[in-house]
Amino acid sequence: MNSRTHFRLVVLYVMVGALLLVLVGRMWTLQVLEGDHYRDIAAQNRMRDIVVPALRGMILDDRGRPLARNTSSLVVSVDRTTLSRQDDGGEAVLRRLANVLGMSQEEIDKRTRLCSPTVQRPCWPGSPYQPIPVEDHADPKRALQIMERQEDFPGVTAQIQPVRAYPEPEGASAVQTLGYLQPVTQEELDKREGLKVTGYSGVDLVGRDGLEAQYDKALRGEAGYRRVLVDAQGRVTGIAEKKEPVPGNHLVTSIDAGVQGAAEKALEEGIKAARKGGRPADSGAAVVMDVRTGRMVAMASFPSYDPSVWTGGISQKKYDELLGEKNNSPLISRVTQGQGPPGSTFKVSSMAAAVKAGYDLHGTYNCPGSYMVGSRAFNNFQGANLGSMNLHTALVKSCDTIFYKFAHEMWLRNGGRNAPPDAKNPMVEMARGFGFDARTGIDLPSESSGRIPDAPWKRQYWEATREANCRGAKEGYPDVAKTDPGRAAYLKAIAAENCVEGYVWRAGDAANLSIGQGNVLVTPLQLVRAYAAIANGGKLYTPRIGVAVVRPDGSVAERIDPPEPARVPIDEKVLAYMRKALAEVPTDGTAGGAFAGFDLKRVAVAGKTGTAERYGNADMSWFASFGPVKSPRYAVVAMVSQGGFGAQTAAPIVRKVWEAMYGTKDSKPILEDGRLPTDIPKLPGSETAP
C-alpha cells in the first residue's frame, strides 16, 4: 500500500469517526438534554384535548319564566387550521360538505371567511383559530354522513350543542334589554381570562349587548375538558383525564313577562295608530319601574327585531337593516338611548326649582297667551289666555307662560347676558338633582346621559360649531335653497347669529329650558326615574334589572341589590303638592280625553303630558305617570318620536299598560292585588332545563 492510499484511508477513518461522534453527541442531546421536551411532544401526538362546553345560564323573569334559554341543536363546524393543512387548502372537503348539507359552495365559503371592514356578512367574526359553525340546526341524517365518513371530512365535526333561544313568554321579547350573543374574537381571547374555545355556540358565544353582556361572566359557566388517547390514524383509544364542565348560573330579573308583553303590544299599537292618523311616528319606548325599589318591571322599545337572526350567521342585508337609520336602528334601546326634549313633563323640575328659588308654592300667577322674552313672544299652546291660577292648576292645564316668566326673571337675577360663567342656575341645578344630564347607572352596558344645557355647555358647543356656522353665514345653504328657499334663508340667519355670539346664554335659552324644549335631552329611563322619585317621597333610585344570580341547583349565588338611593333636593311638602296636582291631569287636565272612561276604582293614576317641538320633525309625544295615587307603586312612561301631542299618542299607550296591569271589566289583571312577586322564584329542575 503506497503512502497516498494510506493517507486517504486515514482521512476516511477520521471523517467516519467525526460523524459517529456528532451522531452520538446529537443522540445524547436529544435523549438527555432535551428528553423531557420531546417526551411531551410525543405525548401530545398521542393525546388530544377536547374542550367540553358549559351550558349557558338562563335569563328569567320575576316569576321564573325564561326570557332567554338554551335548546339542543346539532351543530356542524369547520376547523380552518386543519383544512389549511390539506394540499388544496380544504377546498375539496368544503365541496363535499356543501353537498351533504344541501348548501351551495358559495354559502359555505361566506360562512367560513373571516370578517373585516371590507368583507360583507355573512362571515366569521370570531377568532381565526377556532372551529367555525356553518350549520346550527343540521339535519341528523346529513350529520350522520359526516360522522361516519370522517376520513372524507377532516377538520369537520358534528355534535349536539346548546343554542340560545328566546321563547317570548306572554309575548315579551325584550330583545334590546336581553342583548344578543356573538362569537368570541381573538382579541377577547387574548384579554379575558377563563375564555376557552370549542368551535360550538355553547362556549364560543359571548354577550354583546344588554343583560347577556352585563352578566356574561355569571351566565357563561366554566368549560370542562376531556384528554383522550388516539392512535396513529387519530382514532380515540381511551380517556386519560377529564374534567366536567360547570354550568352557568341563571339570572333572575325584575322584568315581568306579562307586563313586558303588554307594554310592547301597547307601544306597537300606539305607533301604528299614530301612523294611521297621519303622524310619522318612527320609534318609541314604554317603561315601567317599581317606585319603591327602583327595579325595572318592563322596558319596551320600538322598532324591534327577531333575535334569532344571530343564529347560524347573519346576512349583510339583515345586518345593515339592524344598524341602518333606514329601519330606525332596531338594535338601539329607546328606553336607555332614545333621547329627546321632554316637553311639559319637565315642568315638575322647573316648578320645584321656582319654589326653591323663592316663588310662593301657594301663590297666584297670571297665565297670558304669550310672554315677551326680550323682543320675542313666547306663546302658550295655541296662544290660550288662561287667566290667573295657582301652581296646581299650572301643572294640570300645562301653562307655559308662567314657567317662561319664572325662567326669564331668574335669568335677569343672575345677570342676564352678562352673568358670570359660574353663576348658579336654579333650573339647571334642580334638573340635575332629578337625575337628568347623567347616566342613571342601570345594569346595562349602554346608556345615554341626556343633556341639560347651561352657559358653559353653550360656549363649548359654540367653539365646536363656530367654523361651520361662520361658513354657513357667509355662503348660505345653496343645496337647501334649491328645494326650500325659506328654510335656507332661516338657516343662514341663524348661522350668522351663532357665528358672532353663539356662546351667549340668552333669555330664550332659559325660557326653552323651563318647559323641556330647546337643547334639553332626556331618556325615557331618566324620566320614569324622576317621576318615581316624586311618587315615593324623593328617593332617586339607581335602576336595577338583575335581582339575583342563581345556581343550577336553585340556590342563590348572589343577590343584586340596588345601591342606596340619592334624594331629590325638594321638600316633602312640594312633592306632595305636585302629586296632588298630577293626579288631576288624567281627569281634568291635558290627558282627560286619553283617560276618558278609565276605571279609577281599580287604579287612580297621576301623570303629565309632554309635547316637544323639534325643528324639521313632527312633535315628540310623552306621557309620564305613577300610581296608585294614594299609595304609589309603579311609574309608567311612554315616548313616541314624531308621535304628535302627548295626549294623542303617548297617553293612550300608558293607559293600556295600566289597564293590563290592573285589569278592566273585560280583562283579568296581570298583577295580583296590584303586586308583583317580591321573592326569588323557585326553579325546580332548572339544572336540567333545556
Comparing 13-17, 93-97, 337-341, 373-377, which segment has the lowest mean pLDDT?
Answer: 13-17
Which cell numbers hold the place of 237?
Answer: 383509544
Whether the Cβ atoms of residue 531 and residue 637 lie closer than 8 Å to each other: yes
Which one has a higher pLDDT value, 538 or 187? Answer: 538
**pLDDT tens-digit series, residues 161-172:** 778 889 999 999
Number of Cβ within a 10 Å radius of residue 388: 10
Phi first, then psi, for residue 118 (nearest 5°) are -100, 0
- Choose the most confident range, by mean pLDDT, from 139-143, 238-242, 418-422, 566-570: 566-570
Residue 1 confidence (pLDDT) above 60: no
Start-to-end CA distance of the chain, whole Å, equals 91
Residue 505 confidence (pLDDT) above 90: yes
Query: Is-same-fold flag (48-251; 343-514)?
Result: no
Edge-to-edge strands, sheet with 296-302: 296-302, 283-290, 634-641, 617-627, 606-614
Average pLDDT over residues 368-390: 93
Comparing 241-255, 401-415, 504-518, 657-671, which segment has the lowest mean pLDDT?
Answer: 241-255
Q: What angle do CA 583, 587, 589 make, to 5 degrees?
A: 85
Q: What angle do CA 303, 305, 306 make, to 5 degrees?
A: 160
Distance CA 379, CA 370 (A): 4
Distance CA 398, CA 647 (A): 12
Distance CA 439, CA 507 (A): 28
Where in the chain are the domains? 48-251, 343-514
Contacts of 542 (CB under 8 A, 6+ apart): 294, 440, 441, 442, 562, 563, 565
Phi first, then psi, for residue 565 (nearest 5°) are -70, 150
Which one has a higher pLDDT value, 7 or 600? Answer: 600
Q: Residue 211 — very low, low, confident or very high, per pLDDT cuts 50/70/90?
A: very high
Q: How many CA atoms lie within 13 A of 89 on its CB side?
A: 4
Q: Residue 689 — very low, low, confident or very high, per pLDDT cuts 50/70/90?
A: very low
Residues of the chain above pLDDT 90, percent? 57
Q: Quote the radius of gyration of the chain (alpha carbons, Å).
A: 33
**pLDDT tens-digit series, residues 509-525:** 999 999 999 999 999 99
Contacts of 441 (CB under 8 A, 6+ apart): 542, 543, 563
Number of Cβ within a 10 Å radius of residue 623: 33
Q: Which residue is listed with cell 344598524?
A: 323
DSSP per-residue string spanning 398-420: T-SHHHHHHHHHHHHHHTGGG--
Q: What is the pLDDT of residue 120?
A: 77
Per DSSP, what are the bridge partners of residue 59? Answer: 68, 251
Average pLDDT over residues 411-420: 92
- Of 66, 75, 337, the residue nearest 205 (C-alpha): 75
Q: Which residue is listed with cell 299650572?
A: 394
If DSSP codes are grouped into helix, strand and coil, which group holds residue 57? coil
Q: What is the pLDDT of residue 688?
A: 38
Alpha-carbon dihedral sign for residues 417, 418, 421, 427: negative
Which secondary-structure segment (H or E) carries 271? helix 257-276
Whether the Cβ atoms of residue 674 and residue 628 lie closer than 8 Å to each other: yes
Number of Cβ within a 10 Å radius of residue 363: 10
Which cell numbers hold the place of 282?
Answer: 318612527
Q: What is the pLDDT of residue 687?
A: 44
If DSSP codes are grouped into helix, strand and coil, which group holds residue 259? helix
**pLDDT tens-digit series, residues 215-253:** 998 998 887 776 766 655 555 566 777 788 888 999 999
- The gap from C-alpha 189 to its chain's centroid, in whole angstroms, comes to 23
Whether the Cβ atoms of residue 162 and residue 221 lie closer than 8 Å to each other: no
Residue 690 confidence (pLDDT) above 50: no
Distance CA 668, CA 662 (A): 8
Domain 343-514 has CATH 2.40.10: no
Phi first, then psi, for residue 6 (nearest 5°) are -60, -40
Residue 199 confidence (pLDDT) above 50: no
Instruction: Provide the strand spans (E) within 615-670.
Output: 617-627, 634-641
Which secondary-structure segment (H or E) carries 242? strand 236-243
Q: Residue 132 — very low, low, confident or very high, per pLDDT cuts 50/70/90?
A: confident
Residues in the chain: 690
Instruction: Provide the strand spans (E) within 131-223.
Output: 132-135, 156-165, 181-183, 205-207
Average of per-residue pLDDT values in the chain: 87
Phi first, then psi, for residue 567 (nearest 5°) are -125, 140
Distance CA 60, CA 557 (A): 15
Q: What is the pLDDT of residue 339?
A: 96
Edge-to-edge strands, sheet with 224-230: 47-52, 224-230, 236-243
**pLDDT tens-digit series, residues 31-45:** 766 666 655 555 445
Whether the Cβ atoms of residue 134 and residue 108 lie closer than 8 Å to each other: yes
Pick the CATH number of 48-251 from 3.30.470.20, 3.90.1310.10, 3.40.50.720, 3.30.420.310: 3.90.1310.10
Whether the Cβ atoms of residue 297 and residue 676 lie closer than 8 Å to each other: yes
Q: Residue 455 — very low, low, confident or very high, per pLDDT cuts 50/70/90?
A: very high
Alpha-carbon dihedral sign for residues 499, 504, 505, 508: negative
Residue 188 confidence (pLDDT) above 70: no
Distance CA 690, CA 242 (A): 24
Whether the Cβ atoms of residue 332 and residue 441 lie closer than 8 Å to each other: no
Residue 196 confidence (pLDDT) above 80: no
Which cell numbers hold the place of 502?
Answer: 353663539
Average pLDDT over residues 575-587: 98
